[in-house]
Structure 1
Amino acid sequence: MSARSWPSSPLAAAGRAFTLLVQPPTPIGFDGRGFDGLPDEILPLEQLRALLLAPQTNVEVRDAVWRELVIRARRDGPAWVVAAVGIALPGLRHIAGLLAAGWRGDTRDMDAELLVGFLSRLKTIDLEPPRVVGRLIDAGLRAARRSRDADSDTHLVHTGATGPTAPIQPWDHPDLVLARAVAAGVIDADEAHLIAATRLEDATLAQAAARVGITAGLASSWRLKAERRLRDAIRDGDLAFVSLRPRSRRRRRGDATQPRVAATQQPVADAPLRKTAASQRVAPADDTTRPCVAATQQRKTASPPRAAAASATQQRRTVGSMLGAAAAPEVVLAAQQTAFVGKTSDREAAGVGAPGIGAGPA
């Protein structure tokens, strides 16, 4: 194989080496006999990887197989080291994709550090606790994150002042991302603690689960589901505008009061205009009253009963004059004989309801 055809990416090179390892004529196989949940035969490594990634495979079976892979990698030489890396390659690629999100530099250095951390942990990992492959991948993740943070730190401007430094744009501090996710309801506080303790710190999943008060298996399920929700929220931009600062209620209340005050002051400002319009409507009242009085006098001459009613009205006007209530007879006749159907201002201007005048309907 020529040097040009060999991949330049460390993870791609590890995948190519794993593919060559399982090719005929001398493929390496895994003896599945004696492992519950695996076929009783020699399994090709590709088939073994597919069985370990299958959802129906039990967690205990997965841990038992990985304990055997770690022992063989330590005992049987480089071929089984490549086999262990190739079987864990889907998880390593997933972590590499998360690390490369938003990274503008070269990702090959991070991929190399990811592999170095995985292989270094492969030599020293404790096989008694569960989640063997998860702890191996976590070790690679921590090594790659240290490399990325060191590369990011070279772009910072250092000063003599002590205190926290702002994260480089467009990246954000992971703790702030988790805090915004909790504030937005994407994850809860326990899930954020599990992610921070196991992904950002050096705590194992069993240690983080003990702090929360749950088992390691339940903590693994919680963290997996929480990370999926967190990934979807970041991808959809749901955490981009989540504020962690409490807003002032007094300011919002004042802002909401100003439109109401303006609406209250508007009718007061319009009151002179309404009074002017009312006076314009009242002004023609005398002109409209005179035709009504003339029509009433004609009906009084033609109809004796109505003439008697008019005489009684004249007597009422005389009594009103004696009492000091001066009222024009035309207004009294108009109020007695014709119903006013205008607005209240028109009725008051015409004398209806004035002191000493009984304004009954026609």
Structure 2
Amino acid sequence: MSEPWPSTPLAAAERAFDLLTCPPTPLSLDCRAITGMPPTVLPLNQVKRTLTSSATPRPVRDLVWRELVIRARRDGPAWVVAAVGVAMPGLRRTAGMLARGWRGDIADLDAELLAGFLQRLGTVDLDEPRICGRLVDAGARAVKQARDREAGAEFVRVARVWTAPPPEPWDHPDWLLSRAVAAAVIDPDEFLLIAWTRLDHLSVQVVADRLGVEVEVARAWRRKAERRLVDAIGGGELDWSSLLPKGRKVTDAARPAGAAG
């Protein structure tokens, strides 16, 4: 008896990718013309492993992603599924960060993440670096917009004076960085660059090697990302402070008259 089809969007996309890449006729990419890749035709699950390896330089990843996006635009649904499947490690990591503090159905956020990714797949500039990162960023922005739409149901609104304690001016650094990714202030790679060097105290050289960039590039990249982070914190962009206690929902009895259901 076959396994039931997954009920969550990311798991379903991953299953579809696995089916496309299983023997005897896995969907494959001709890598012979892609500098830095093995000079052969590779099944896409092997392409995925190569792209997620720290030994693969970023420019090589972008060359492969350029080809994947071209195929997705030109060759139909199988290659769209392929693009999602190859990006799945980044999508999973981003989904995990975006889900922190969310009390609704995680599948809803995953669906928004995929929708944003797929919409951007048709328009992303292939001459700019970080093709996959920018696709995942678009998904993150879609999730942030969805969370903002839901915020109306999580915040108490009243037509009279309301006293509430001010939000604490501090937060766990990981949560702050996660919200910055969700708000598209920084991307997932910048999250890792800042977290690994500032919080885990790894050297910039070690992290630069992991990310496939030169150490001076990594330092400049981190500096720009941290500048955006400081501006976002100062501007209140990363403040998600609900007036409701954690885990509590607004009941019909507690809603002010005229509030949406």
Q: Which residue of 2 aligns with 1:26?
A: 25
Deviation at 1:166, TM superposition (A): 8.4
Deviation at 1:160, TM superposition (A): 5.2
Q: Deviations over 1:167-215 (max 9, x none)?
A: 9xxxx89xx667x75xxxx9xxxxx8xx95x7525x787xxxxxxxxxx
After TM superposition, the structure 1 = structure 2 runs for residues 153-192 of structure 1, keeping only pairs within 5 Å, are 153-159=152-158, 181=173
SS at match of 1:24: coil
Q: Which residue of 1 aligns with 2:53?
A: 54
Q: Which residue of 2 aligns with 1:80?
A: 79
Q: Does 1:119 align with 2:87?
A: no
Deviation at 1:224, TM superposition (A): 2.5
Deviation at 1:56, TM superposition (A): 1.1
Instruction: Describe the shift of the 1:151–1:232 C-alpha distance in structure 2 as closer, same or farther (beyond 3 A).
Output: farther
Deviation at 1:146, TM superposition (A): 1.5
Q: Which residue of 2 aligns with 1:149?
A: 148
Counterpart residue type for residue 40 of structure 1: P
SS at match of 1:25: coil
After TM superposition, the structure 1 = structure 2 runs for residues 220-231 of structure 1, keeping only pairs within 5 Å, are 223-228=191-196
Alpha-carbon distance in structure 2 between the residues aligned to 1:127 and 1:177:
39
SS at match of 2:154: coil
Instruction: Describe the shift of the 1:7–1:25 C-alpha distance in structure 2 as closer, same or farther (beyond 3 A).
Output: same
After TM superposition, the structure 1 = structure 2 runs for residues 341-356 of structure 1, keeping only pairs within 5 Å, are none
Task: Please state which structure has a larger fraction of its residues in helix.
Answer: 1
Q: Which residue of 1 aligns with 2:238?
A: none
Counterpart residue type for residue 152 of structure 2: D
Alpha-carbon distance in structure 2 between the residues aligned to 1:18 and 1:166:
48
Alpha-carbon distance in structure 2 between the residues aligned to 1:125 and 1:47:
24
SS at match of 1:43: strand
Counterpart residue type for residue 6 of structure 1: W
Contact 1:135 1:204 in 2 (8 A): no
Deviation at 1:96, TM superposition (A): 0.8
SS at match of 2:7: coil
Deviation at 1:229, TM superposition (A): 6.4
Alpha-carbon distance in structure 2 between the residues aligned to 1:81 and 1:157:
41
Contact 2:28 2:42 in 1 (8 A): yes
Identity of aligned residues (%): 51
SS at match of 2:46: helix
Q: Does 1:71 align with 2:39?
A: no
Alpha-carbon distance in structure 1 between the residues aligned to 2:85 and 2:102:
25
Q: Deviations over 1:132-170 (max 9, x none)?
A: 0000000001101221232232121224589xx989xxx
Instruction: Describe the shift of the 1:108–1:232 C-alpha distance in structure 2 as closer, same or farther (beyond 3 A).
Output: farther
Counterpart residue type for residue 55 of structure 2: Q
Structure with higher RCO (Cα < 8 A, 6+ apart): 2
Q: Which residue of 2 aligns with 1:5?
A: 4
Q: Which residue of 2 aligns with 1:97?
A: 96
Contact 1:45 1:87 in 2 (8 A): yes
Alpha-carbon distance in structure 2 between the residues aligned to 1:98 and 1:152:
18
Q: Deviations over 1:108-131 (max 9, x none)?
A: 000000000000000111111100
Instruction: Describe the shift of the 1:221–1:23 C-alpha distance in structure 2 as closer, same or farther (beyond 3 A).
Output: closer
Instruction: Describe the shift of the 1:136–1:229 C-alpha distance in structure 2 as closer, same or farther (beyond 3 A).
Output: same
Runs of 4 or more above 3 Å deviation: 159-162, 220-223, 227-233
Q: Greater Rg, structure 1 or structure 2?
A: 1
Segments of 5+ residues of structure 1 without an aligned counterpart are: 187-191, 206-219, 234-362
Instruction: Describe the shift of the 1:156–1:223 C-alpha distance in structure 2 as closer, same or farther (beyond 3 A).
Output: closer
Alpha-carbon distance in structure 1 between the residues aligned to 2:158 and 2:44:
53
Alpha-carbon distance in structure 2 between the residues aligned to 1:227 and 1:144:
22
Q: Deviations over 1:264-304 (max 9, x none)?
A: xxxxxxxxxxxxxxxxxxxxxxxxxxxxxxxxxxxxxxxxx
The TM-score normalised by the length of structure 1 is 0.48
Contact 1:6 1:13 in 2 (8 A): yes
Instruction: Describe the shift of the 1:108–1:101 C-alpha distance in structure 2 as closer, same or farther (beyond 3 A).
Output: same
The TM-score normalised by the length of structure 2 is 0.65
After TM superposition, the structure 1 = structure 2 runs for residues 264-343 of structure 1, keeping only pairs within 5 Å, are none
Deviation at 1:37, TM superposition (A): 1.5
Q: Deviations over 1:289-326 (max 9, x none)?
A: xxxxxxxxxxxxxxxxxxxxxxxxxxxxxxxxxxxxxx
Cα RMSD over matched residues? Answer: 3.4
Contact 1:69 1:80 in 2 (8 A): yes
Q: Which residue of 1 aligns with 2:244?
A: none
Q: Which residue of 2 aligns with 1:321?
A: none
Contact 1:9 1:108 in 2 (8 A): yes
Q: Which residue of 2 aligns with 1:210?
A: none
